[in-house]
């Protein structure tokens, strides 16, 4: 025999479901700005899309000329801007549970009233949780594409970048070059001085390569002591010059190991994308050029020659 609690529970369940259905319908169709904004923000984890939604909803309530957002997520600057600003500004540092999630500012030609600034604060209270989730999503995505030791892109990031580069080269006809760079006799350094020194050399190498590049170039660690550099709008001759500049920068490294200064050299292979080429073949040609550099005494650069 069912007890009284069980009977009451089964009796009230349909009523609770009906109330839930009614609440959902009201939430889905509610015309007020806060409900509409939170409803829209819940549909995406794309931070740029969320910020566009915020700008659209906020300007209908509090007129402004521009909205700007800036943050640094996973070592990368994220900037969003919509409109052209005026001399007056409301700026809000977004934080939740002690964590910073960027700075949001609104601009216009006339001063904002106290009532309008209070309105912005109410909007921010509705957007902060979805925006936090979008920031965390970016950080997770970046972590999956980042080498944990050096902080540069990993092999997965390199593979994705090569696919994009091949597609862009086909679409626009501009030259793209790939440099593969391998540290010479690196195992000997690990065996002699230990992995702590070896890891320090890898980190410093990544820094030196990055400093040798333009902002449009990108560097990846795709193996133990192997690095790849992707150069847009760069011919094979110019890519060789970049590879030699990288080699000289690496050769100048000095790392303390007890009472010794440890140095290292690097070999580089260069290949320029060929029209219609599969990116795996492009990578294989760069690897062949690197093999030739190793075979010719190391600490040098070789270019995979092609016949037009």
Show which residues are catalytic.
225
Nearest to 127 by CA among 22, 23, 21, 56: 56
Interatomic CA distance for residues 85 and 212, integer angstroms: 36
**CA 244, 248, 249: angle at the middle one, nearest 5?**
115
Interatomic CA distance for residues 108 and 207, integer angstroms: 41
């Amino acid at each position: 025999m069912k007890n009284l609690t069980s009977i009451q529970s089964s009796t009230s369940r349909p009523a609770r479901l009906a109330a839930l259905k009614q609440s959902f319908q009201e939430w889905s169709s509610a015309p007020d700005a806060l409900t509409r904004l939170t409803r829209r923000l819940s549909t995406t984890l794309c931070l740029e899309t969320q910020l566009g939604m915020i700008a659209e909803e906020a300007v209908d309530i509090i007129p402004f000329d521009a909205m700007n957002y800036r943050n640094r997520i996973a070592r990368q600057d994220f900037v969003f801007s919509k409109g052209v600003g005026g001399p007056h500004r409301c700026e809000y540092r977004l934080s939740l549970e002690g964590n910073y999630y960027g700075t949001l500012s609104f601009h216009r030609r006339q001063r904002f009233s106290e009532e309008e600034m209070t309105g912005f604060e109410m909007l921010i209270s509705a957007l902060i949780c979805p925006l936090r989730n979008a920031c965390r999503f970016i950080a997770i995505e970046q972590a999956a594409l980042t080498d944990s030791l050096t902080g540069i892109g990993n092999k997965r990031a390199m593979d994705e970048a090569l696919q994009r580069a091949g597609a862009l080269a086909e679409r626009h006809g501009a030259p793209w070059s790939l440099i593969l760079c391998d540290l010479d006799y690196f195992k000997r350094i690990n065996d002699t001085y230990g992995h702590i020194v070896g890891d320090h050399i890898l980190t410093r190498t990544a820094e030196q390569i990055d400093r040798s590049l333009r902002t449009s170039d990108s560097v990846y660690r795709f193996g133990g002591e192997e690095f790849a550099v992707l150069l847009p709008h760069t011919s094979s001759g110019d890519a060789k010059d970049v590879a030699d500049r990288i080699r000289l920068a690496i050769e100048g490294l000095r790392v303390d190991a007890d009472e010794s200064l440890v140095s290292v050299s690097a070999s580089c292979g260069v290949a320029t994308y060929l029209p219609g080429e599969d990116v795996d073949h492009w990578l294989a040609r760069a690897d062949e050029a690197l093999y030739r550099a190793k075979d010719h005494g190391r600490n040098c650069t070789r270019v995979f020659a092609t016949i037009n």
